[in-house]
């Protein structure tokens, strides 16, 4: 992996429990520097509690139907997060991938 591998430790994957989530997790599992935390979205409060407790460096949002990535990003702004957090949103509806970063540029 690149020079970023020193900080890519905890990757929180939030999805809907679909095959797409499994494929993403399987691809990332080949990197031994990553600790994958996979969750199926149930409700906003649980998501915020999970993220606050686990302090991931990367949050991967696989937005499909039950939540929108825009809403999840708005929720994340409500809590104190790591200074170098990366949020990656993936949409199957329109094949968009967006990357949001907070903290110093790498």
* pTM check: above 0.75: yes
- What is the token pair recorded at 16? 């809907």
Contact status, residue 36 vs residue 62, Cβ threshold 8 Å: no
CATH T-level assignment (fold) for domain 3-101: Rossmann fold (3.40.50)
Top-ranked range on mean pLDDT: pick from 5-9, 36-40, 73-77, 93-97: 36-40
pLDDT tens digits, residue range 68-93?
A: 777 888 888 877 666 678 899 888 77
| Domain layout of the chain by residue ranges | 3-101
- What is the token pair recorded at 9? 């430790």
Q: Which residue has the higher pLDDT, 105 or 83?
A: 83
């Amino acid at each position: 992996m690149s020079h970023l591998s020193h900080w890519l430790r905890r990757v929180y994957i939030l999805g809907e429990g679909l095959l797409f989530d499994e494929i993403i997790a399987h691809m990332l599992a080949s990197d031994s520097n990553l600790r994958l935390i996979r969750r199926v979205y149930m409700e906003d409060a649980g998501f915020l509690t999970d993220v606050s407790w686990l302090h991931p460096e990367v949050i991967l949002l696989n937005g499909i139907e039950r939540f929108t990535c825009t809403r999840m990003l708005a929720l994340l702004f409500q809590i104190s997060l790591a200074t170098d957090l990366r949020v990656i949103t993936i949409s199957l509806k329109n094949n968009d991938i967006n990357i949001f970063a907070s903290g110093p540029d790498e």
